[in-house]
C-alpha cells in the first residue's frame, strides 16, 4: 500500500489542479530572476506544500525533504511530479542535504525549503534557508498558495492543508530577499516571516477565505 500511495497522491493532486481555477500574483518577480539567469531558493510554509507539487510541476527545482518514512512518500510524489528532492533535515542528515542542495544549484536547479519544517513551530523561520542563501549567494523567493476548498488538519503541528477539487486557488510570490555576509540571520528571519505572512494573507483574500 505504501508503494501505491505516491501514485495515488500524484493522481489526486492532478485532479485538484485540473479542476481548480488558478490565479498567479507576483510572477514578474520570478521572471526577473530567471531573465538574469539567477538561481534562487523558494521558501513556503510547511502546511501549504501539497499544491506546490502541481503548481510547480516539471520545474527545475530541488526540494528539501526529510529522511522520515513520510519523507520517502513525499520524495516519490515529487519524482512523479518531475521535481527533484534533497533528503535530510536539521535533525537528521543535515550535512548531506546541504551538500546535495549546493550541488543542485551548481547543476542549474533552484531550491525549495519549508523554513518552519519538518516539525515546527509553525510559521516560524529556522536559519537553514537563510544560511544556504547566504553561502550560495542566491536570493530567497517567498512563495505561498491558498485554496478556497480545502481540508485543514487541526491536530497536526502546522494545521496541514489538503486541497480539494473544483475550487479557486491563488499563487503569490513575494519580493526576493538577499542575505549578505554581514546580515544578521535573526533579522533576515523576521523579514522572511513577515513576507510569507503578508503574501499568505493576500492569497487567502484572493480566494475569499
Domain of residue 40, CATH code: 3.40.1130.10
Q: Is the pTM of this model over 0.85?
A: yes
pLDDT category of residue 91 using cuts at 50, 70 and 90: low
- The yes-or-no verdict on residue 32 having pLDDT over 60 is yes
Separation CA 207–CA 111 (nearest Å): 27
Are residues 85 and 79 in contact, defined by beta-carbon separation less than 8 angstroms? yes
Distance of CA 13 to the CA centre of its chain: 15
Phi-psi category of residue 111: left, alpha or beta, with phi > 0 → left and psi -120 to 50 → alpha? beta
Q: What is the largest CA-CA distance in the chain?
A: 50
- The yes-or-no verdict on residue 94 having pLDDT over 70 is no
In terms of residue numbers, what domain contains 40? 5-206
Q: Which of 19-23, 74-78, 97-101 has the lowest mean pLDDT?
A: 97-101
| Overall residue count recorded for the chain in this entry | 209
Are residues 142 and 177 in contact, defined by beta-carbon separation less than 8 angstroms? yes
- The yes-or-no verdict on residue 66 having pLDDT over 70 is yes
Separation CA 51–CA 114 (nearest Å): 13
Calculate the alpha carbon distances from 89 to 30, 50, 82, 109 in Å. Answer: 26, 18, 21, 19
Query: Could you give the number of structural domains in the chain?
Result: 1
pLDDT of residue 113: 94
Separation CA 74–CA 80 (nearest Å): 10
pLDDT of residue 46: 95
If we measure between CA atoms, which residue out of 85, 19, 93, 18 comes closest to residue 49? 85
Tens of pLDDT, residues 170-180: 999 999 999 99
Amino acid at each position: 500500500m505504501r508503494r501505491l500511495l505516491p501514485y495515488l497522491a500524484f493522481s489526486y493532486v492532478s485532479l485538484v489542479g485540473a479542476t481548480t481555477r488558478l490565479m498567479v500574483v507576483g510572477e514578474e518577480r520570478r521572471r526577473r530572476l530567471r531573465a538574469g539567469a539567477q538561481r534562487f531558493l523558494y521558501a513556503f510554509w510547511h502546511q501549504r506544500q501539497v499544491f506546490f507539487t502541481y503548481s510547480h510541476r516539471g520545474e527545475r527545482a530541488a526540494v528539501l525533504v526529510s529522511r522520515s518514512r513520510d519523507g520517502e512518500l513525499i520524495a516519490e510524489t515529487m519524482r512523479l511530479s518531475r521535481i527533484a528532492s534533497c533528503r535530510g533535515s536539521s535533525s537528521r542528515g543535515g550535512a548531506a542535504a546541504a551538500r546535495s542542495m549546493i550541488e543542485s544549484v551548481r547543476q542549474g536547479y533552484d531550491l525549495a525549503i519549508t523554513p518552519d519544517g519538518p516539525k515546527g513551530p509553525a510559521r516560524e523561520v529556522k536559519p537553514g534557508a537563510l544560511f544556504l542563501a547566504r553561502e550560495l549567494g542566491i536570493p530567497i523567493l517567498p512563495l505561498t498558495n491558498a485554496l478556497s476548498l480545502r481540508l485543514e488538519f487541526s491536530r497536526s503541528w502546522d494545521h496541514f492543508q489538503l486541497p480539494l477539487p473544483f475550487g479557486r486557488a491563488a499563487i503569490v510570490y513575494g519580493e526576493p530577499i538577499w542575505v549578505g555576509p554581514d546580515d544578521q540571520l535573526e533579522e533576515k528571519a523576521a523579514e522572511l516571516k513577515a513576507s510569507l505572512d503578508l503574501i499568505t494573507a493576500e492569497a487567502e483574500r484572493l480566494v475569499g477565505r
